[in-house]
Structure 1
Amino acid sequence: MREDLARTEILTTLGSGPLNRTQLALRLGLGAATVTEHTRRLIELGYVRELAPQAAGRGRPKVPLELVPDAAYTLGLRVHHTHVVGVLMRLNGSEARRFTVPFDPRADPVGQLAAVCARELADPAAGGRVRGIGLAVPGVIDQARGIVRISPHLGWSDLPLRPLLAERLPVPVLIDNDTRASTSAELLFGAGCDHDDFLVLAVGGGIGMGIVLGRRIHRGPDGVAGEFGHVPIDPQGPPCVCGRHGCLESYAADYALAARAYERGLTPAPVPVAELPRLAAADVPGVRDLMAEAGAALGRAAAGVVNVLAVRALAVIGESHVLWPYLEPGFRPAVESGVLSGVEIMVRPWDDSGHARGAATLALSATVAAR
């Protein structure tokens, strides 16, 4: 395990219940000295406390350690083109508070986001314990420099979002692509509890993929790793928001499904994305076949990544969870027939705060545990 992740994993492991240092070392595969040093610092910070010693056979009594969930918080924001969803998260990953505020990405976006964060930091109930802020943003993100390279859904390009927010806020700020932010949550609280290597497939207004190898989220040197939606399927295919043609996203993203339903004559007029679940549930002729085809395209592409990286777990997340019952009949057989070895497919329940929780987890890893 990487040393810079060890302290975070000690916190999240204690979130499931008290353990002594020996149990932590065994659970996390760490040396006794490493656990002792990290827990000493966490106790000093007030994030962990010792309980009464417990005698167990011969030797000195073991001292259980307990997490103090409300000792510190992180704030996560999911930036959408019409609103911002915020989550105030405890050290054990649970939500202390959730909120939604309107947002216009064209009208002083930095000022709007800074105002949201400042309001939360000023809250006397918890603001003084917020140790870091994470933002989950759709698009191509240079996470190291905190720059939004391009976000078609927000209309941004080369926006130095983190540096501009850092100038206005008194706590550390981090930003990342929304899928990779949620991959942080999956690493600490989901698939990462059982797997060191896994994939996170996000299906919604775009198609993204989080990649975890050796318990490390792979971002690539310029932050473009995981742009799964732009895997080319057919160069003569439909146009994609990236400016190319025939990307996977142009077949399987929710907006693409709505457009193709009209193009195929399945609907008399263009329909909004929100209508897709109703059309599928009503079994409008051809709609379920269209979605199964999209699911199969996703599955074939995902199977290729599974084979290349030799992972054994794939978590599915995203706003299209309401469409998943119609995508899955194509997706699962395509994956299972395409992988060389078995892969565990996990479908996560989803709501609008999912990426916000991921952003809060990103801040937990990078600021609270490292403080």
Structure 2
Amino acid sequence: MREDLVRAEILATLAPEPLNRSQVAARLGLGVATVSEHTRRLIELGYLRELAPQVAGPGRPRVPLEVVPDAAYTLGLRVHHTHLVGVLMRTNGSEVSRFTLPFDPHTDPVGQLTKACLEVLADPGTGDRVRGIGLAVPGVIDPAKGVVRMSPHLGWSDLPLRPLLADRLPVPVLIDNDTRASTTAELLFGTGRDHDDFLVLAVGGGVGMGIVLGRRLHRGPDGVAGEFGHVPVDPSGPPCVCGRRGCLETYAADYALAERAHERGLTPAVVPVADLHRLASADAPGIRTLMAEAGATLGRAAAGVVNVLAVRALTVIGESHVLWPYFEPGFRPAVEGGVLSGLEITVRQWDDSAHARGAASLVLATTLASR
């Protein structure tokens, strides 16, 4: 485990309540000496502080540690094809503030992103405590080089986004796929509290998967891991934005559901996800069946990944969470009938700032605690 990630995990472990070094070590499966060395550095940085010693029986008093939440901030941006969502986050994972701005990915996107970040950095009350900026971007992202390899939703291809932003901004900049960014937040503040190995299934404008193994986020060569939406389902299926046919995304993403509902004559036109939700809630003919079919397709594919990686937990996120009650009747039986052992399934309530919080967590995990 990288040193910066260890420090981020220590901060996340202490976020809910003060603990002594032995308790932190036990929760993270680390040696007390290792935890002591990292907490010493975090205290020097001002991110942790010691509380009054606690005496309980013989031996040396135990010294609780607590996070200093406003010692530093991280800024996360969720990049959407119509808008930006920003979240300024404390070291304990709580929000300082959030904002939404219009965004046009086709008109000087680097200039728009730079302007949004500089406005936050210029805030006299908080700007000087921002230690890094993270961007959650849909598509195939190479986080090591900071390049957007392919983002059909944004219309970007081979865009060196991080180097361009780094030249204009005074703090470190990181970018990653939006699902992996949110998976980092789950590792630090969500599912990772109870599981060292888990999956995050994101369903919305696309279909993605975050993979955590041994408390490490798996990115794969050039950052291409997790493109779950492009698992082939049917070579003669619908065309996909990637140029192939019959990818999982063409059966389960919200745009694909809307297209299929129209093709089946269930809607007079291709409608937004809010209308699909309204129709499903009203039990309009055929809509719930369509969604259960999509859920079953998702479930069969997810069961295969669960079996290969031997994980025991899967967390569902994404804009389509409002449709999940109608996916689940197909999804859960397909998963339970396909996995070799039990699987804990959690569905997160979703809002438009979730990927932005993930991007801020990405900075916490890879930049902030190593300063």
> What TM-score results when the alignment is normalised by the length of structure 2?
0.98
**Cα distance, 1:312 vs structure 2:** 0.4
> Matched residues in 2 for 1:313 and 1:270: separation?
34
Alignment map for 1:77-156 (pairs within 5 Å): 77-156=77-156
Alignment map for 1:251-270 (pairs within 5 Å): 251-270=251-270
The equivalent of 1:242 in structure 2 is 242
The equivalent of 2:68 in structure 1 is 68
Q: SS at 1:7's partner residue?
A: helix
The equivalent of 2:225 in structure 1 is 225
Aligned length: 371
Structure 1, unmatched stretches of 5+, are: none
| Structure 1 counterpart of 2:260, one-letter code | R
The equivalent of 2:346 in structure 1 is 346
2:139 touches 2:148 (CA, 8 Å); kept in 1? yes
The equivalent of 2:51 in structure 1 is 51
Classify 1:205/1:59 alpha carbon distance in 2 versus 1 (closer, same or farther; 3 Å). Answer: same
> Matched residues in 2 for 1:286 and 1:292: separation?
10
Q: Deviations over 1:326-355 (max 9, x none)?
A: 111100110000001111001011000010
Farther off after superposition, 31-40 or 182-191: 31-40
| Structure 1 counterpart of 2:269, one-letter code | A
Q: Deviations over 1:192-236 (max 9, x none)?
A: 111111100000000000011111111111111100000011111
> Matched residues in 2 for 1:28 and 1:236: separation?
47
**Cα distance, 1:3 vs structure 2:** 3.7
The equivalent of 1:211 in structure 2 is 211
**Cα distance, 1:2 vs structure 2:** 4.6
Q: Deviations over 1:226-258 (max 9, x none)?
A: 000000111111111111110000011000000
Please tell me the root mean square deviation across aligned C-alpha atoms, in Å. Answer: 0.9
> Matched residues in 2 for 1:61 and 1:104: separation?
57
Q: SS at 2:212's partner residue?
A: strand
Q: SS at 1:40's partner residue?
A: helix
> Matched residues in 2 for 1:103 and 1:229: separation?
25
> Matched residues in 1 for 2:159 and 2:315: separation?
30
Classify 1:270/1:18 alpha carbon distance in 2 versus 1 (closer, same or farther; 3 Å). Answer: closer
| Structure 2 counterpart of 1:356, one-letter code | A
The equivalent of 1:178 in structure 2 is 178
The equivalent of 1:364 in structure 2 is 364
> Matched residues in 2 for 1:271 and 1:25: separation?
51
Alignment map for 1:180-195 (pairs within 5 Å): 180-195=180-195
**Cα distance, 1:32 vs structure 2:** 1.9
**Cα distance, 1:273 vs structure 2:** 3.1
Answer yes or no: is 1:273 the counterpart of 2:273: yes
Alignment map for 1:159-174 (pairs within 5 Å): 159-174=159-174
The equivalent of 1:288 in structure 2 is 288
> Matched residues in 1 for 2:113 and 2:213: separation?
32
> Matched residues in 2 for 1:270 and 1:26: separation?
53
The equivalent of 2:38 in structure 1 is 38
Q: Deviations over 1:57-114 (max 9, x none)?
A: 1122221111101111000000000000000001111111011000000000000001
> Matched residues in 2 for 1:4 and 1:81: separation?
32
Q: Deviations over 1:170-191 (max 9, x none)?
A: 1100000000000000101111
> Matched residues in 2 for 1:47 and 1:271: separation?
48
| Structure 1 counterpart of 2:44, one-letter code | E
Structure 2, unmatched stretches of 5+, are: none
> What TM-score results when the alignment is normalised by the length of structure 1?
0.98
The equivalent of 1:318 in structure 2 is 318
